Structure 1
Amino acid sequence: MLVSYKWLKDYIEIDDLTPQEIAEKLTRSGVEVDIVHEMNQGVKNIVVGKVLECEKHPEADKLNLCKVDIGEEEPVQIVCGAANVGADQFVVVAKVGARLPGGMKIKRAKLRGQVSEGMICSLQELGFEGKVVAKEFSEGIFNFPTEIAPGTDALGLLNLDDQVLELDLTANRADCLSLIGTAYEIAAILGRDVKLPEVTEIKETKEKGSDYVSVRVEATEDNPYYGAIMIKDVTIAPSPLWLQTKLMASGIRPINNVVDITNFVLLEYGQPLHAFDYERFGSKEVLVRRAKDEEKMTTLDDVDRTLSSDYLAITNGTVPVALAGVMGGADSEVSEDTKTILLEAAYFKGTTIRKASRELGLRSDASSRFEKGVDPSRVKKAGLRAATMIAELAGGTVLSEVVEHNNLDVTPKEITITLDKINGVLGTSITNTEVNDILHKLQFDFEEDNNQYKVSVPTRRQDVQIQVDIVEEVGRLYGYNNIPTTLPNTATTPGGLTSVQANKRKVRRFLENVGLHEAVSYSLTTTEKESHFKDEGGYRVKVASPMSEERSTLRTTLLPHLLDALSHNKNRNILNVNLYEMGSVFSTEEQTVTKQPEETTYISGAIMGLWHEHSWQGEKKPVDFYVLKGMVEGLLAQLNVIDKAEFIQGEGKGFHPGRTAKLLVNGVEIGILGQLHPSVAKEWSLTEVYMFEINLHRLLMEEVEAIRYTPIPRYPAMDRDIALVVDEGVQAGVVESLIKEFGGQLITRVALFDLYQGEHLEKGKKSLAFSLRYQDPEKTLTEEEVTKVHEAVLNGLEEKIGAKLRS
């Protein structure tokens, strides 16, 4: 909401305060002011000039030679390239020595041999945004609508000496979407009175409004009040300059006097109005009803709209002439030929307006106010205010009798609250005298008896509905800076993390400690990217109105976004990248989603380039499968599930078939790790990348035994190494499991330390070397005892998998 400081002074006395001071006080009270805009962007020395003569430049077809009276002894010659410049116009002249926005200085110049002593300006050249400049002046110079003495300072006339406060309003403060509402807020802060505009009742006329129109409302719940005011014999013309500049300061383009007045009252009262051309309306009946499905109409922006029964339509009894609360129809638009106005002042239900505005992608100043809620007590007053101004500025005659349907409740909300409740919530010791003063400043009627308040909330404050709203009003006007810092006076419980939260932190810390950096990516992706890792079968959750094709589907895997991050780094010559992400993936069993999709937490990682094996030594090695597997094993050990985990060779879509393993916990597959398939890597312009993805939710649901203390062994251990020749297809993990099985409780550690294939071995064979540790916690083992168990291990391996000791 843009609020003109000069315009605001029409409603409250603030001459003693600067716009910056007003902004500070508003922000401290809870109505944030983002910025105070200076209308004057460095402009000076501009005056009103009268074009006495205008002729074509003898040497340039697109230039004009203008003799301009600027209030000095002699007229000056100015060369102007605007197509709409002409004799007898009153224009804005930047004199020699003037400054324009951006530091531009006007100098005496020669253009194609002709002297130019100044510049005739467009509004854009003076710093106005093009979107607020009237269309007739949008591509040319501006000329004043009335005669003004040449030489008059143009800064004040164009409102360039104004400053504009930009309010960043929360949704509940719809009352400040108007000049009057903002004035009430400032009055509450300063303890001053608000000067409301005079609204006069319509004078008796021979003809009445009901002679021209009737009003019927079918959708009474959506439209409890509709008022129609008839105004005859209007003359459509440009608005007075003061009205145009006020609208431009508020970000609205002037159009004509009637439309500008409805916009003026919209900004003043916060009440949207609409003016119909009565001759083009099509009937003598206004019928407000729900639109019909597939019903058509063309709105003021010349777009054909298809309506639905969820929208509210203003009709002439037959066809829609306006989309209620959103935008009028093109067929009944006020034009230069309009003579009779049907002025609409209505109250529409916010939820109905919001639905139509959102689904049609049609947001307007009117819809934004109806959505948040307008003051029901001001609806008719705003209509009468606009009708009076139209009679004054457009020469119309307002016909007596507002034709209306009125079922609108304007009863103030009554809230009962005690002083103890206010102080209890705020943690203060505010006295009843102070509360009384604050309620008076807010202009809330109230009764107070023995520190109990019965507050009558004016209808302009639709956001104040319950006790805590009264507490908030008292607190913000008492001053947030005056409220002491206190602890809540309530029962407390000791805080702490759940086991899942604690384990998630443990996962993060472990992965960061081994050198991975956390990535945070969008939950939305594309089906094409996911297809590299997921089969086409099944259903995906698609966004109904995606902001782009890249964000059209809820992800079912974290891997594509990690590859995006790796590719982004590689394209910037950062080749050693190690990332992980913990996030949600989504799934559904429905083709058309009718219930909440299932959300599951996954943990994924991706590494490429060189790996710092020992960061304290600065050593690096290329990443490979075993680096990745070591990370995952370490992670499982941190979560105390390593004994339940098993890695088996497998395949996964998007992974290299010979360098991929499935992760099983308690026999259930919960993850995958391995090298990215070269063809997939090529899609992201990458080479050798290793990745893992684990269902973290499933992993954290595993029951784990409590960590128990094991005393340091009192008796020595005996280590023996064996090198076994086995078939190429025998996995080292299988051999390790068999060694533990045949060795029993005496084997406390088995570690693979060498793999050999090549010379001195039969074709199709390989050598696996293991280090075995034998230890008994109860006694010292003898050589004979260890040898007996060791031979049992070798015999068992030979019998089970044909393993032989390598000679």
Structure 2
Amino acid sequence: MLVSLKWLSQYVDFSNLAPAELAEKITRSGIEVDAVIDRSQGMTNVVVGHVVSKEKHPEADKLNICQVDVGEESLQQIICGAPNVDAGQKVIVARPGAHLPGGIKIKKAKLRGQESNGMICSLQELGIEGRLVPKAYAEGIYVLPEDSVPGTDALELLGLRDTVLELGLTANRSDAMSMLGVAYEVAAILDTDVKLPEITYAVSNEKAADVLQLEVQDTTLNPLYAAKVVKNIQVTESPLWLQHYLMAGGIRPHNNVVDITNYILLEYGQPLHAFDYNQLGTGKIVTRPAQAGEKMTTLDEVERTLQPHNYLITNGEVAEAVAGVMGGAKSEVSDATTTVVIESAYFTGSSVRRTSKDLGLRSDSSARFEKGVDPNRVLLAAERAAQLLAELAGGEVLEGTVSVDELDKTPTRVVVSPDFINARLGMKISLEDMISILNRLQFGVDAANGVLIIDVPTRRGDITIEEDIVEEIARLYGYDEIPMTLPASGEQVGGLTPYQAKRRIVRNVMEGAGLYQAVTYSLTSAEDAQKFALQKEETTKLLMPMSEEHSTLRQSLLPHLIDAVSHNVARQVNDVALYEIGSVFLGKTAEGLPHEEEHLAVALTGRWTDNAWQGEKKAVDFFVAKGIVEALFAKLGLTAAVRYEKAVVEGLHPGRTAHILLNGEVMGVIGQLHPAEQKKSDLKETYVVEMKLAAILNAEVEELVYSPVPRFPSITRDIALELGRATAAGDIEAIIRAAGTKLLKNVKVFDVYEGEKVAADKKSVAFSLTYFDAERTLTDEEVVAAHNKVLKALAEAGAEVR
């Protein structure tokens, strides 16, 4: 919302405040002022000029030599290239030394040999956006009214000695989408009064009801419709003050009739529409739902196909306007219009919003109807329009208003106790201060039996419950007045919970390994809801899903994460490494709600390393994914409790998949996507991991014990074992660790071989064993004795030493 302070000053007195101070007070009260805009933009030496004569430049076809009276003793010669400049016009002149927006400084100059003492300006050259300039002057200079006095300040005449506040309104503050709404807000902040427009005008002896009939077919969608009839109007340009206010509010002036409806839109927040009575043709207005496939051409010259839930204004035969959104081209006001019907109505916001969305058409009117207009301003706005049409268009207002009114205008009543307010704010505001604030807001308030009985004006449709009153009192009392306090507990120092700290470690490990975090939808299709699930439970489906693809809560993170990988690969991002921490939904809790469990998922495809300068390339494989998992468990201190078992999981490669076990329980899965799944998603080799993160982070970890760096050397022994191909290296490692004495400190696999000199059903696995003692240097005999125990255990397990 753009608020001209010159216009606002007509309704509320803030003359003792600079614009920046007023903006600060409004922001502190809860409506953020996004910008304070000086419309003069530092311009100087811009005056009214009178073009006394014009002649063609002898050396240029598109230039004119103008003799201009700028209020000095002699005429000033100015060269002008505007196509619409002419003798007799009153124009805007930037004199030599003038400063214009964009850092432009006007100097005396010669154009094709002729002296030019200044510049005749368009509105765009004064910093006004082209979309706001009246169409008649969009391609040339702006022509001022004939009574403008040469030499006077043109910026004052054009209303550019003004400041505009740009308000960043939240959806609930539709009351501030009008000048009167902002006036009430400022008056409450400054504890002053609001001066409302006085509406008086002469009335014709002829009655509006004699020339116009009205029928409303659906009062649930259109509970109030009012029409005023004004005859003998003259359609002309609006006076400068009206054009200035519209442009300051972001609306382009058109003619006096349309400008008046837009002026009231900004003043009252009530959309109006003007119909050419003679173009209606029937002397009748009927509001009704559209017929299926019905068509009409709106003011933007676009033919639109309507649906039965779209509400229309018709002449009883054909559509003349889309209710609350836009008028029709057929009955729009033109220069030939002599009689107008002014519509002021209340349309339900949901109906207008749906129609606006259907037609892809959003207007200033629809924006206000969607958020809600003041029921008690609908008729007032029509009367204000009649007054201004009489004053500015010479109109003759017919007696009475043709209307259908079934709209409930009863103020909302909210009952709240002062204790409730203070408890929510954590402070003590006196009852007198509360009543004072509510009175400043012009809420009806009465204190009785320890509670406040508040009647909320209909302009404040956002105030409906006790908490809304708490907010109003808090913001006007001053958010900065609310005392800072620590929670009333023994432990007052904030910090992360152990679980939160571990979750942060998980993110650090994933991102340190080069993975990017993804955030995907919790909703998926019924088909994919249990795909790759570690644990399958009853699914939770939405009652009214937006689409089948997002109808069911997921039980695995992987389907959407794989979709994200596929999305990247399809856009030529071939090396993808993603992780996600999110909830899956497994069955229901005792309260009947979906049971949430936090999981971690990883998806990898493409190259893991690609160092072109070293000629080093490594594709993602099972062991890259496993290495990331091992790095995580190492960081969490759970390495000793984790092991891996070969597994068969639907959708994953049968020979490259393993379960992740923590303390003997399956906590996750790691593997390659099944080739059929990869083909379905247009992927090459892709590896995935999913783990029950909540269970892992809640697992007990032994206290971390630090050991000094060994002072004594270690001794390494390597053994190569011939094993059955189905034997897991992890099982053999467990045997070695169990058989080793306290001198055995580390075991790792360093080679796996299948082929020549090894039986077809066998494989060779080589282990490196490290022995040392932190207190002394080991002897060969001690190492041999410990190593022999390991060899004996391996022999008993059927492992043959090569």
Structure-2-length-normalised TM-score: 0.80
> For the Cα contact (< 8 Å) 1:108–1:116, is it kept in 2?
yes
Equivalent residue number for residue 737 of structure 1? 731
1:345 aligns with 2:340: no
- Contact (CA 8 Å) 1:7, 1:246: kept in 2 or not? yes
Tell me, in whole angstroms, the C-alpha distance in 2 between the residues paired with 1:758 and 1:428.
77
How far apart in 1 are the matches of 2:81 and 2:175?
46
**Identity across the alignment (%):** 45
Pick which of 495-504 and 66-75 moved more: 495-504
Pick one of 638, 643, 646 that aligns with 2:644.
646
Task: Provide the aligned C-alpha RMSD in A.
Answer: 4.9
Alignment CA distance shift 1:564-1:301 (3 Å): same
Alignment of 1:626-775 (within 5 A): 626-635=623-632, 638=636, 645-646=643-644, 648=646, 661-663=657-659, 671-673=669-671, 692-697=687-692, 700=694, 722-725=719-722, 730=725, 734-737=728-731, 751-755=747-751, 761=757, 767-770=764-767
Matches within 5 A, 1:215-614: 215-449=214-448, 451-486=450-485, 504-511=503-510, 515-516=512-513, 519-521=516-518, 523=520, 556-558=559-561, 581-583=579-581, 601-604=599-602, 608-609=608-609
- Cα deviation 1:748-795 (Å, max 9, x = unaligned): 989454427599946978642235799xxxxxx999999698457436
Aligned to 1:210: 209
Measure, in 1, the Cα distance between the counterparts of 2:561 and 2:54. 70
Question: Following the alignment from structure 2 to structure 1, what is the Cα–Cα distance between the partners of residues 698 and 685?
Answer: 29
Local SS of the residue matching 1:332: coil
Q: Tell me which residue corresponds to 1:616.
A: none
Cα deviation per residue 1:13-62 (whole Å; 9 max; x = unaligned)?
A: 22211111111111111121111101012211111111122222222221
Secondary structure of the 2:309 match is coil
Could you tell me how far 1:206 is from its partner in structure 2? 3.0
- Say yes or no: does 1:12 pair with 2:12: yes
**3-state SS of paired residue (2:440):** helix
CA contact (8 A) 1:555 1:586 kept: no
8 Å contact kept, 2:101–2:127: yes
SS at match of 1:465: coil
Question: Compared with structure 1, are the counterparts of its residues 600 and 136 closer, same or farther at alpha carbon in structure 2 (3 Å cutoff)?
Answer: farther
Q: Deviations over 1:375-397 (max 9, x none)?
A: 11111111110111011111111
One-letter amino acid matched to 2:128: F
CA contact (8 A) 2:620 2:687 kept: no
Secondary structure of residue in 2 paired with 1:13: coil
Deviation at residue 643 of structure 1 after TM alignment: 6.0
Whole-angstrom distance in 2 between the partners of 1:756 and 1:488:
60
Contact 2:257 2:393 in 1 (8 A): yes
Cα shift at 1:219: 1.5
Does structure 1 retain, via aligned residues, the 8 Å contact 2:751–2:767? no
Q: Deviations over 1:265-307 (max 9, x none)?
A: 1111111111011111242221222223332222111122222
- Match of residue 64 from structure 2: 64
Distance, in Å, in 1 between the alignment partners of 2:558 and 2:382 is: 52
Change (3 A) 1:412 1:763: closer
Supply the AA of the counterpart residue of 1:635: L
Matched, 1:805 2:793: no
SS of equivalent residue, structure 2 residue 11: coil
Aligned to 1:84: 84
Ranges in structure 1 where 5+ consecutive residues have no aligned partner: 528-533, 536-540, 547-553, 572-576, 588-595, 612-619, 713-717, 775-780, 798-802
1:74-113 pair list within 5 angstroms: 74-113=74-113
- Any idea what SS the aligned residue of 1:49 has? strand
Shift in CA distance, 723/789, structure 1 to aligned 2, threshold 3 Å:
closer
1:614 alignment counterpart: none
Contact 2:720 2:764 in 1 (8 A): yes
Secondary structure at 2:337 match in 1: coil
Distance 1:654 1:303 in 2: 54
Q: Secondary structure at the match of 2:720?
A: strand
Q: CA deviation at 1:647?
A: 5.7
User: Is residue 198 of structure 1 aligned with residue 198 of structure 2?
Assistant: yes
Q: Which digits, 9 at most, give the CA deviation of each residue in 1:609-663, with x for residues without a partner? A: 389xxxxxxxx997875454322234356485986753659999999x99x6555
Q: 1:187 is matched with which residue? A: 187
Instruction: Tell me whether 445-454 or 762-771 shows the greater mean CA deviation.
Output: 762-771
Deviations 1:96-143 (A, max 9, x none): 221111221112212122221211100000110111101111111100
Partner of 2:777: none
How many angstroms apart in 2 are the aligned matches of 1:91 and 1:586? 70
Change (3 A) 1:752 1:450: closer
The CA distance in 1 between the partners of 2:122 and 2:462, in whole Å, is: 43
Report the counterpart of residue 42 of structure 1 in structure 2.
42
Secondary structure of the structure 2 residue equivalent to 1:60? coil
Distance 2:171 2:517 in 1: 30
Give distance in 1, aligned partners of 2:322 and 2:490: 53
With 259-268 and 85-94 compared, the bigger mean Cα shift is at 85-94
Residues 684-721 of structure 1 deviation map (CA, whole Å, 9 limit, x = unaligned): 9x9xx997432234x65689986679999xxxxx9975
- Partner deviation per Cα, 1:332-358 (whole Å, 9 max, x = no partner): 111111111010011111121122223
The 8 Å contact of residues 673 and 686 in structure 2, kept in 1 or not, is answered as yes
The SS at the match of 1:110 is strand
In the alignment, the residues of structure 2 paired with residue 654 and residue 83 of structure 1 have an alpha-carbon distance, to the nearest angstrom, of: 74
Please give the alpha-carbon distance, in whole angstroms, between the structure 1 residues aligned to 2:702 and 2:719: 32
1:239 offset after TM fit, Å? 0.5
- Count of paired positions: 740
Hey, what's the Cα distance between the residues in 2 that align with 1:446 and 1:289? Answer: 40
Tell me, which stretches of 5 or more residues in structure 2 are unaligned? 525-530, 533-541, 550-556, 586-593, 707-714, 772-781
Q: How far apart are residue 669 of structure 1 and its match?
A: 10
Residue pair 2:598, 2:694 contacting (<8 A) in 1 also: no
Opposite residue 304 of structure 1, the aligned amino acid is E
* 1:629 counterpart letter in structure 2: K
Q: Quickly say closer, same or farther: Cα 1:367–1:601, change in 2 above 3 A.
A: farther
Alpha-carbon separation, structure 2, partners of 1:492 and 1:166 = 44
Residue identity in the other structure for 1:769: A
285-294 vs 233-242, which moves further: 285-294
Match of 2:149 in 1: 149
Instruction: Name 2:536's counterpart in structure 1.
Output: none
**Bigger CA drift: 439-448 or 26-35?**
439-448
**Normalised TM-score (structure 1):** 0.79
Q: 1:786 to 1:227 in 2, by over 3 A?
A: same
Q: What is the letter of the counterpart of residue 644 of structure 2?
A: E
Cα separation, 2, equivalents of 1:181 and 1:491: 47
Q: Residues 466 and 768 (structure 1 numbering): CA distance in 2 closer, same or farther, change over 3 Å? A: closer
For 1:115 and 1:28, the matched residues in 2 are separated by 54
Cα distance between partner residues in 1 of 2:716 and 2:202: 113
- Quote how far apart the aligned CAs of 1:570 are: 10
How far apart in 2 are the matches of 1:702 and 1:628? Answer: 18
State the match for 1:538 in structure 2.
Answer: none
**Segment of structure 1 superposing worse, 489-498 or 272-281:** 489-498
8 A Cα contact 2:412 2:455, kept in partner: yes
Q: Aligned equivalents of 2:366 and 2:310: distance in 1? A: 12
Q: Distance in 1 between matches of 2:494 and 2:359?
A: 47
Letter in 2 for 1:734: A
Deviations 1:300-336 (A, max 9, x none): 1112222223322112223221111111111111111
Counterpart-to-counterpart distance in 2, 1:88 and 1:488: 76
